[in-house]
Amino acid sequence: MKNIIIVIVIFYSFVCNSQTKTKFFYDDYVECYFDNTSSDSLVIYDNIKGKSIMSLKIDYKKIRTQWYKIAIKESRNGWAKIQNLMVGPGKEDSINKKLASTFNMWVKLKNLKINIADMSLPDSLGVPFYQKPDLNSELVCKSGKFLKLELIDTDGLWAKVSFTHNKNKYTGWIERKNQCAYPWTSCPFNP
């Protein structure tokens, strides 16, 4: 009986350990994506303005739905430090194993995007954007409709973004709960 319990404990430990390696959601970080709407490559650097380590390109003609999801550890002067980088859709495969080596590497913020939920609400009930990364700062605007946002900067779990809404160009801060790092699906809206 003791041996069976030991085997079960070892098996359970192995399963739990393997699940942490396939983690896809990083709620403690700003998450964004790089998709095939840019003709540029996603270039990974060893440091800010450092040496290029790898270049990732998505061939729209071959793979229409592929994208890269990035959990950002910090950002500085137009650069983002990588906590995690994964290709989607997909689970832990040979590409994601290779991308694990990008931990603590850097990417330029250019062409990184965040979405907000696909909803159909009056703007007054929608996602708020703030002047500063603070719920008490002045509102820039609210949106009750789906938007694609260009990532500019981060501060903790806040993302500074630029976007067009009702034909007006805005820059504002969005809190983590309203950020969606998935280009082909919608995240839920939690007011």
- Total domains, the chain: 2
Instruction: Report if residue 137 sits inside a domain.
Output: yes
pLDDT at 149: 96
Specify whether the CB–CB gap between 112 and 161 falls below 8 A: no
Burial class, 175, CB count within 10 angstroms (exposed 0-12 / middle 13-18 / buried 19+)? middle
Of 31-40, 61-70, 90-99, 106-115, least confident by mean pLDDT is: 90-99
Q: Which phi and psi (to 5°) does residue 124 adopt?
A: -60, -20
Task: Work out the pLDDT band at 17, boundaries 50, 70, 90.
Answer: very low
Q: Give the end of a domain, one of 48, 81, 107.
A: 107
| Mean pLDDT computed over every residue of the chain | 84
Q: Which domain range does residue 139 map to?
A: 114-178
**Domain holding 147: CATH number?**
2.30.30
What is the model's pLDDT at position 8? 35
Which pLDDT tens digit goes with each residue over 80-122?
999 999 988 765 477 888 899 999 999 999 999 999 988 889 9
Whether 89 and 120 map to the same domain: the answer is no
Domain boundary among 60, 84, 107: 107
Domain edge (last residue) among 72, 107, 142:
107
Burial of 106 (C-beta count, 10 Å sphere; 0-12/13-18/19+):
buried
Whether 155 shows a pLDDT value over 60: the answer reads yes
Whether 155 is covered by a domain: the verdict is: yes
| pLDDT over 90 percentage in the chain | 60
Question: In this structure, are 49 and 73 located in the same domain?
Answer: yes
pTM, two decimal places: 0.83
Coil, helix or strand for 28? coil
